[in-house]
Amino acid sequence: MRQALSVFGSKSASPLKTIMILALAMSFVVADAASSMAARSSAIVVDAKTGKVLYSSDANGRRYPASLTKMMTLYLTFEAMAKGRISKNTPVPFSAKAAAEPPTKLGVKAGGAVSVETAILSMVTKSANDSATALGELLGGSESNFARMMTAKARQLGMDGTVFRNANGLPDPGQFTTAHDMAMLGIALREHYPQYYGYFSQRSFLYGRQRINGHNRLLGRIKGVDGIKTGYTRASGFNLVSSVSDGNRRLVAVVMGGTSGRSRDNQMAGLINAYMPRASTRGGGGLIAKAGGDNPIKALANVLLPKHDAPTPDDKPMVEDDAVASNDDPTSADEQPADEQTVAAVEEPAPVVKTRKVKTVIVTAPKVETAQMVAAYAEPTPASPPAVDPVNTASVPSGWAVQVASSPKQSEAQAFLDKTARQAPKILASASGFTVAFDKDGETYYRARFGGFGSKDAAWNACNALKKKKITCYAVQQ
């Protein structure tokens, strides 16, 4: 670059030569900017029982997350499952955009669908980009809306150095995180959703007749490692989050910006071996990870992103409040040296342990399903700018619905939906709850409805059954 600038300053340089030199100089600047976050590695080891930082190296430095992004996609998926908005058998439709994502991927064609459980397993083992996008579209209406939900949830969890732009971690210069934040998310996954954390220890699963092996080489290699996630792009380097449990001790460790899958794994193994004996055996009385809460919009609206790397905390990166971790691969398909996480055959497949067979027949998903899940996922939404509102931009189901209430507060409308679903689980087994905003006399109200009824008669019959349980309702066409 100095040579280029030197020639540029020469009086004898021709206009064409000057332009070429300028272009060359600019290419160096762009390359330097693109690689700045990958120039240094970072790492952190946290005692998952106490929140104490046992080791830290540039843990608050900005890094590209690559496929570690899928940890947040899975967090929001688990949240939706825990709240009954979706189940493990809910169809996940694959749009043309999801189907066109670059490898690694499950390979579902546009218009096809798999179950939520299959999508989860494909993400924790194969790190499937298409499954992540499809889940994001299911829960957020669009991937961009879902990315806003991801960032808002990050703020609620105390992840102040993280911004998400997509659901899968494919390269985006505006998407970044820190080792510290990934440790927080890893702990939150286990603590908040222990009922689903077992997915992260999955080392392979059967997709139809195909066995898909996982990427996390530390599963089975290092005693106590029970999951989490790998990731790689050129810009990010080799990333890994590991959760480890050994007797009464538990750690979450993060390595980002490794120069190779092997060196990253060896670094992780060294950190685990060195700091596991220093972890507490007495912690665990309260949750370490900050609670996610029910309303991500306020958190996002008040975000002030850090302008520079903050100093590494000396202690407790997690706020003690209310409040899980995951799994992927070392030198795996999602870690091959290509900016789009270009697929290659997985080397040294992990030994088959805990192989789970799931129903993976690809079906045509009902067109109404995506909209139903989007609306059903709607969080209570206070007044906030549309740019950070993942709910109001989501579509609502077409066809027939049953309205059970309306309220000036979306949280109350959602609470009524939850209560009604508990009172009449059989009647509403195939229906999905959602809220619809409307204006009356200059004020915003929210209708609480259950959608998914294929005909007027089906909606009327469901409403009549609800009335027998003394639940007021009426059928309405959307």
pLDDT digits (tens, 9 = 90+) for 385-432: 223 222 222 334 457 889 999 888 888 888 888 889 889 988 988 788
Q: Please give the pLDDT value at position 337.
A: 38
H helices present in 157-295, as ranges: 179-192, 261-275
Q: How far are the Cα atoms of 84, 91, 129 from residue 360, in angstroms, in the given order?
A: 22, 10, 17
Domain 367-477 has CATH 3.30.70.1070: yes
Neighbours of 275 (CB within 10 A): 18
Q: Please give the pLDDT value at position 180.
A: 96
Q: Please give the pLDDT value at position 355.
A: 43
Tell me the pairing of strands 356-358 and 204-207. parallel
What burial class does residue 173 get, using C-beta atoms within 10 Å of its C-beta: 0-12 exposed, 13-18 middle, 19+ buried?
exposed
Q: Please give the pLDDT value at position 33.
A: 42
pLDDT digits (tens, 9 = 90+) for 226-280: 778 888 888 899 999 998 988 889 999 999 999 988 888 889 989 999 999 999 9
Just list the catalytic residues.
Answer: 67, 70, 127
Tell me which residue has tokens 């998310």.
185
Q: Is the peptide bond before 435 cis (omega within 30 degrees of 0)?
A: no
Pick the CATH number of 40-358 from 3.40.710.10, 3.30.1490.190, 2.40.30.110, 3.30.70.60: 3.40.710.10
- Extract the residue ranges of the chain whose pLDDT is less than 70: 1-39, 215, 217, 220, 283-287, 291-398, 441-442, 478
What DSSP designation does 204 have?
E
Neighbours of 10 (CB within 10 A): 11
DSSP code string of 422-454: HH-TTTTTT-EEEEEEEEETTEEEEEEEEEEES
Q: How many CA atoms lie within 13 A of 203 on its CB side?
A: 17
Cα separation of 203 and 326, whole Å?
A: 11
H helices present in 234-328, as ranges: 261-275, 296-301
- Confidence (pTM): 0.59
Q: Please give the pLDDT value at position 223.
A: 80
**99 close to 110: Cβ distance less than 8 angstroms:** yes
H helices present in 210-281, as ranges: 261-275
Neighbours of 241 (CB within 10 A): 31
Q: Which two tokens stand for residue 376?
A: 């059903």
Nearest-5° angle of CA 429, CA 135, CA 411?
60
What values do phi and psi take at 327, rounded to 5?
-170, 135
What values do phi and psi take at 304, rounded to 5?
-125, 105
Q: Which two tokens stand for residue 384?
A: 């906030």
- CB proximity list for 201: less than 8 A, separation 6 or greater: 219, 226, 227, 327, 354
Tell me which H or E stretch contains 249: strand 249-258
Counting every residue written for the chain, the total comes to 478
